[in-house]
Structure 1
Amino acid sequence: MAISDATNATELAEAAAKNAANSLNPALNTENIEIVAPCSDPASQVTMTITYTLNTITGIAGPFSMTGKGVMSCGG
């Protein structure tokens, strides 16, 4: 999905990440999401990094620190 309007692209990307991870408990929040170089022109790239600490249900193992990173061309 290409987002051509850079005005609210960051908010849309954060909302999409939160919606994709809606089963996390505690929920993913804005502090877990870092967006570097939001799209200023179609030739640039944007990087999104999400960090989350996963606690197990039983508490026997963990917590586990997890990081996901994605890069996409702003032009789509």
Structure 2
Amino acid sequence: MTYPDLDSLVQRAYRQLDGMTINRDQFSRDAIALAAELQRWREAHARLEATRPVGQGHPFDGIFGDLFKGQAR
């Protein structure tokens, strides 16, 4: 799969906002590809979060927890 060049996409969006003519078909295809990639990233992130153990916190919590045990702040 090819990914749209984000800098080019932003530049074309600014040109369109400035009233210049752009290739709307290509712009739309790039926007759809970007949205699809973002959706895949969100789904992958949700799957990763679902596999994390619940209630264990960050791995460093156990290491540094002993240092501050009993100290109220």
Shared fold (TM-score greater than 0.5)?
Answer: no
Larger Rg: 2
Q: Which protein is richer in strand relative to its size?
A: 1
Structure with the higher fraction of residues in helix conformation: 2
Q: TM-score, structure 2 length as denominator? A: 0.29
TM-score (norm 1): 0.28
